Structure 1
């Protein structure tokens, strides 16, 4: 085989065929990537309260691993002065701050190589229900990070956000039909074709489909707000015992599917219930601080937010969870301490992140150790 043949094979082979796969979040990391919030039509009062929350998250994760924060040029000096010196601030333009969804999905190879999947991104629905326009800067983030790290980038036309998938690192992926089968994501692809592409690009062998994500989740039901792997064969699930709350039926439906499922290695899943905070709604003062633009999602007083303790980040030595509701914060903290006995659970005030439409897992992306 000559050099041309090898190059052609490399271009046509999928990551799985080349031996790459996506590790679990609870596997060791080299770093965590974040972005800096600033857009006034999503974050109230010029994003100053949100910036303080992002700094707290970055500080907590930096106890555990290197943290990179990408910043638009006009906010570089502000971010650099707010963030501790050991957190690496780099100029990385974005339309908003959801690194989980606009950033790369990292892959590793048994020979020690790092690579990434560059999904298509359309701002959670494009012109059919998307959350803002334009999203041109967000689409370039993955290419820029690949060049910074000097790693291979596998480009796919499949529209997938990082928050739409969770893997166990042993061949199993969990996602929701509400998101990946939504007509505003991949309207020309049927479920079997989406499964084939997920397996080809992430190196997984089995996909567990949950019907819906959390109630009123503006991402069209991202799984990372509802359910996540905490260990091989174990998942955490957001839960409420209040059968009058719409979330109850969603969580009960998911519980039945998870308890009946087996993973790629044939194991039955153990499901750990995390209490749902709230319900939490946007206050009048919180909504009044947001600019109203036709190209972005409005924030109205009384709107229910898709609050979830499942939206936490698993670092090397810490688990960073959102502090959202005094009635349930301590219970959720205790459950996570039991699930991660080798890590310190750090609770961060995260309502300001929730007001923007997501939470701690949504604003972070782990770079696995190779």
Structure 2
């Protein structure tokens, strides 16, 4: 039997979150990024009401820094790793209950753009910590490149999964077969490109996220200067053409610049925890509207906006830095 990747809103036993440690990767903003990540961890932990949070720290010096920022009960896990983006380097868990297994895919640093030691090994480390049987797959896939609704339906982008810098010998049909065999995916909504300024080559978790079975949240452009208006329009048209999917509107933060460059800022990089939906915010007009929209979509959870201008300096946000362990 092929085990299936659960939706993110399915119950979690725990979540792994990466804590920033490479000073040179954060353009002088590592302290702000650390505060953002710690606030994220605290929100997911939710005073012990949420889920177990394993905050991955590189060494004991970083553990001391993290300990001063996180709430009591957030667990520090010291292990070697590269960048904090555990959505891409950590294991993807399939199945539920006694049939859980970890899937570790090949990782090539987003097309060999940001090579850091430890990124290829951390998936096996986390799977071993959870005492899960692990299958190692011989093709490149990053967790941020896909999103699922738990019924076998997946959304992804052509820019990422069909990129020649990932699996140049695999066709669209080859990838579909492998997604089915490894993650139980049997229907794929192929969107086009991801956000402007996204160094991951169009990860879908910045563009489109499932918020229920057959319900896909898509951004609405924020004004004429929104750099991703054309991307949103194309995603909306492809989803409508696919059929059978309810489109749910979420605001866009609009044009967000970091150091004079357009950042891939998105409210779509939210994390769905057991009790809390954590929404990245950017100090712009639509922040509260995004939190309110997600609160309405998940009425049995509290939606919390957490500042993300520090973590986005490193190229991602809260969903990117985390990987859940389904219950």
TM-score range, shorter chain: over 0.9
Give TM-score, length-normalised by structure 2: 0.95
CA contact (8 A) 1:277 1:325 kept: no
- Which position in structure 2 is the counterpart of 1:342? 300
CA contact (8 A) 2:157 2:191 kept: yes
CA contact (8 A) 1:278 1:325 kept: no
| Structure 1 residue 107 corresponds to structure 2 residue 88 | no
| TM-fit CA distance, 1:243 | 5.2
Cα RMSD over matched residues? 1.5
| TM-fit CA distance, 1:242 | 3.8
- Which position in structure 2 is the counterpart of 1:265? none
CA contact (8 A) 2:2 2:183 kept: no
CA distance in 2, matches of 1:244, 1:45: 28
- Which position in structure 2 is the counterpart of 1:24? 7
CA distance in 2, matches of 1:349, 1:79: 17
CA contact (8 A) 1:38 1:46 kept: no
Q: For 1:64-213, list aligned pairs within 5 A.
A: 64-73=50-59, 74-109=61-96, 112-126=98-112, 130=113, 132-133=114-115, 135-213=116-194
| Structure 1 residue 273 corresponds to structure 2 residue 249 | yes
Q: Secondary structure at the match of 2:248?
A: strand
CA contact (8 A) 1:179 1:221 kept: yes
CA contact (8 A) 1:42 1:356 kept: yes
1:227-280 alpha-carbon deviations (Å, 9 max, x no partner): 000000101112205456441111111101112224xxxxx1111122211301
CA distance in 1, matches of 2:190, 2:163: 13
Change (3 A) 1:332 1:49: same
- Which position in structure 2 is the counterpart of 1:9? none
Choose 309-318 or 325-334, whichever is displaced more: 325-334
CA contact (8 A) 1:32 1:365 kept: yes
Count how many residue pairs are aligned between Structure 1 and Structure 2.
323
Choose 189-198 or 71-80, whichever is displaced more: 71-80
| Structure 1 residue 358 corresponds to structure 2 residue 319 | no
- Which position in structure 2 is the counterpart of 1:309? 267
* Unaligned runs of at least 5 residues, structure 1: 1-17, 263-267, 283-300
CA distance in 2, matches of 1:321, 1:241: 17
CA distance in 1, matches of 2:222, 2:32: 32
| Structure 1 residue 229 corresponds to structure 2 residue 210 | yes
Larger radius of gyration: 1
1:81-124 alpha-carbon deviations (Å, 9 max, x no partner): 33223011011211111111111111115x62221110111111
- Which position in structure 1 is the counterpart of 2:240? 259
Q: For 1:37-76, list aligned pairs within 5 A.
A: 37-45=20-28, 47-63=30-46, 64-73=50-59, 74-76=61-63
CA distance in 1, matches of 2:314, 2:171: 32
CA distance in 2, matches of 1:201, 1:59: 32
CA contact (8 A) 2:11 2:274 kept: yes
